[in-house]
Chain A
Amino acid sequence: MLAKWIGLFSVIDFISAGMLVSVVAMNSLKRIDGCIKAYAANSWLLASMMGASAVYLSEPHLYAAAFYTIAVKCIGIPYVLKRVAKELKVTRETDPYVSGPVSTMASFALVGIVYSALSRGIAVTGFAQNSLEVAVSIILVSLFTMMIRGKAITQVIGLLFMENGLFLAGFSLTRGMPTLVELGVLFDLFMGVLILGVFLSQIKKTFVSVDLDRLTNLKG
């Protein structure tokens, strides 16, 4: 019954569109906790997409995948990020290199480029046909975010958005990765966030701020 409903209203395409909107929205957010919330929302959408496909395909290992995603990406990582932001006392992005409206327009342009480029490349068929385009768009838009933002913590959030895009791509290409692989990737991701948190506080100690402009001693 539920599976039929998911198929009828293309819930999966709907959710992946939501993920795309949240990554574009992140570009116009300046407050750090707003960015963290956007990341959490993106992760919840990713997890609910896995859950919806689990119902649709009635695959038990996809339920487990959705569960791990919730535990790590929706609860664990946003918690760590909030703690780090509080410790560093950064509340907002002071001056991004590109202003909010311009970067939002640029991300829309990137999405357009991805759609036109992938229309002639590989075509993923089946239930998640839009997911690959959305995933590549998320990866490129978050890469763009990482380039234009000046605070180290926003760079980490951009990196995490990129990983969400990667998860979506992996999900649509493999129809749910094997559990062992997913657990390993999530473990690496979580450890990465913890280690980046450690380095963030060291940057704060040695450079007195977390502006990436100051990290320019090493050249050539």
Chain B
Amino acid sequence: MLLLVLIPLAAALACLFLKGRGALEGVTIVAQGVFALWAALLAFEASNGAVYFGGDASAPLFYADALSAYILCVIAVLSFASGVYSVEYIRSEVARGALPAATAKYYYVFLNLFVFTMAVVPVCGNLALLWIAIEATTLVSALLVGIYRRAGSVEAAWKYIVLCTVGITFALMGTFILYYASSEAGSGSFEWSTLRQMAAGLNPATMRLAFLFVMIGYGTKAGLAPVHNWLPDAHSEAPTPVSALLSGVLLNCAFYGVIRVASIARVSCGPAFVQTVMISFGIISIMVAAVFMHVQRNAKRLLAYSSIEHMGIISTSFGAGGQFGVYAALLHVLNHAIAKPLMFFVTGRTYCRYHSVERGKVKGLIKALPLTAGLGFAGIFALAGAPPSGTFISEFLMLRALADGRHWAVLALFLIGGTIVFYALIRNFGSMFLGKEAELKPEPSNFKFTPWKPAGIVMLSFAVIILALGLHVPGRLDSLIRLSAGIVGQ
């Protein structure tokens, strides 16, 4: 069952040996499609009990429970969407000469390889293997960030790889300290399920140190302020389908590492410590992102800072815990992974037509690309957490969790930050979508938005999903998230 993670790897190898644009695109889309279906099957199976691969059942190397299956499904759906969207985007970039045709081949190789490294992350039963997989995602995605070879993208890729590698070093240090804590308490182990069982016996002082190291390390990769500096550069300089993957799922992969260690630390050093650390990181991220979004003029950088805000929301609501907090955090992972890529896809289409996404340069998109702008409005309101969208539900549940835990100051700060974010989003995208005069005229393009073209269908369905999640969370999804929340613990 867990062999499904090898599908993207096989696709990457196939792309390396294939020639011709159609073959590369076809292999990528088919592989990601099969991968997504298989991930859904795994989710059904994992809801009935964890699935193992490698090692023995008590200490498996690879392991998937409901939480892993849930994260894996989010990764798979997004990878499929971004694979489909890539076809149109990369063709357009090759046509205007921004990307050489030979590089486009390596784009597909790296894209599949990137999806493979991300898919390994949630099925690692061993925390050291988890670290290795997360570090591998940095290496492969840096190649994608720098694929344009412009001054800006090379600079962004360099900062990304250096800062994330330094940051994530701390997470490995934390993992080693965790091992040390377990070897003091009996037998040393890297396996999550073993550590979870012996969590109550681990030395609280050592575990506090371990959790702090892991939080700083994976927090850097998850884009939590104040260690987020690489994120706006990398997310804005990458090709748009890759930005969607970086924002929508890669950040969650890193945060998944935090979740696993936090669920051990909660038992061994008491919930109060974990709560304080996660809520502090979360609310600082929300406020920092709000300030930077307020002064931003470039739409892609704006969306990058919005990712920092949303990771802050996930961290805050996970930290708040309780009956609603963990559920809200996990639901928000999905909501953000749908809403953010939708907005990146809208921005990508705008870029294909105007070759700019700066506020003030692009205007009146609603006339040039009416359907794209319409979907964009749905995306903005979803990102801002306005009803009726899935993000509204998860953010409301987070407020409920904060109120239950009597974190009134955090709650007030979040409301202030959320308002600034809403204003920044409306101001930037409103000015892009509406208005009469355009400084830049849209260039005639072969890639007109037609809802029945694959990329159009992806965007349309994402907009429908995010609105539908605001009205009703389907029963199967609800029970999968409940099971995952149970694994993490309240």
Contacts and interface: CB of A to CB of B under 8 A. Distances in A.
Interface in B335-357: none
B136 A188 contact: yes
Interface string B157-173: 11101100110010011
A218 B152 contact: yes
B176 A215 contact: no
12 contacts: A122-B177, A122-B180, A143-B166, A173-B177, A181-B190, A192-B161, A195-B142, A195-B161, A199-B142, A199-B146, A205-B149, A215-B155
Contact of B209 (A121, A207, A217): A121
A94 B143 CA distance: 29
B233 A159 contact: no
A166 B172 contact: yes
Contacts of A195: 139, 142-143, 161
A139 B162 CA distance: 15
Interface in B88-140: 126, 128-129, 131-132, 135-136, 139
Contact of A202 (B149, B172, B209): B149
Given A143-B166, A169-B176, A220-B295, A181 B132 contact: yes
B151 A217 contact: yes
Nearest to B151: A206
A29 interface: no
Interface of B: 61, 126, 128-129, 131-132, 135-136, 139, 142-143, 146, 149-152, 154-159, 161-162, 165-166, 169, 172-173, 176-177, 179-180, 183, 188, 190, 205-206, 209, 232-233, 236-237, 292, 295-296, 301
B155 A218 contact: yes
Contact of B166 (A159, A173, A202): A159
Given A174-B176, A195-B143, A152 B158 contact: yes
B151 A173 contact: no
Interface string A117-144: 0000110100000000000000100010
Contact of A181 (B129, B136, B157, B159): B129
Contact of A146 (B151, B166, B296): B166
The DSSP consensus for interface residues of chain A is: helix
In the A-B complex, the 4 residue pairs with the closest CB atoms: A184-B132, A181-B128, A173-B180, A173-B176
B55 to A, nearest CB: 10
Contacts of B128: 177-178, 181, 184-185
A174 B155 CA distance: 37
A33 interface: no
A54 B61 CA distance: 25
Q: How large is the interface on A (under 10, 10 to 19, 20 to 34, 35 or more residues)?
A: 35 or more
Contacts of A177: 128, 176
Contacts of A188: 132, 135-136, 139
Contacts of B165: 159, 192
Contacts of A196: 161-162
Nearest to B188: A174
Contacts, number: 115
A202 B139 contact: no
A145 B300 CA distance: 33
Interface string A176-212: 0110110011011001100110010011011100000
A65 to B, nearest CB: 14
A170 interface: yes
A207 B157 CA distance: 14
A199 B157 contact: yes
A143 B216 CA distance: 15
A218 B206 CA distance: 39
A166 B205 CA distance: 21
B206 A122 contact: yes
Given A122-B206, A184-B128, A220 B292 contact: yes
Contacts of A139: 169, 173
A155 interface: yes
Instruction: Indicate the member of B126, B154, B179 with the most A CB atoms within 10 Å.
Output: B154
A169 B132 contact: no
A19 interface: no
B359 to A, nearest CB: 14
A139 B216 CA distance: 15
A181 B176 CA distance: 11
B132 A215 contact: no
Contacts of A191: 136, 139
Contacts of A152: 158
Contacts of A206: 149-151, 154
A49 interface: no
A93 interface: no
Contacts of B166: 143, 146, 159, 162
A163 B169 contact: yes
B153 to A, nearest CB: 9
A202 B295 contact: no
Contacts of A217: 151-152, 155
A124 B165 CA distance: 26
Nearest to B301: A220
B103 to A, nearest CB: 12
Contacts of B292: 220
B151 A199 contact: no
A1 to B, nearest CB: 29
Given A122-B205, A181-B129, A206-B151, A199 B158 contact: yes
Contacts of A205: 149
Given A174-B183, A174-B188, A185-B172, A203 B158 contact: yes
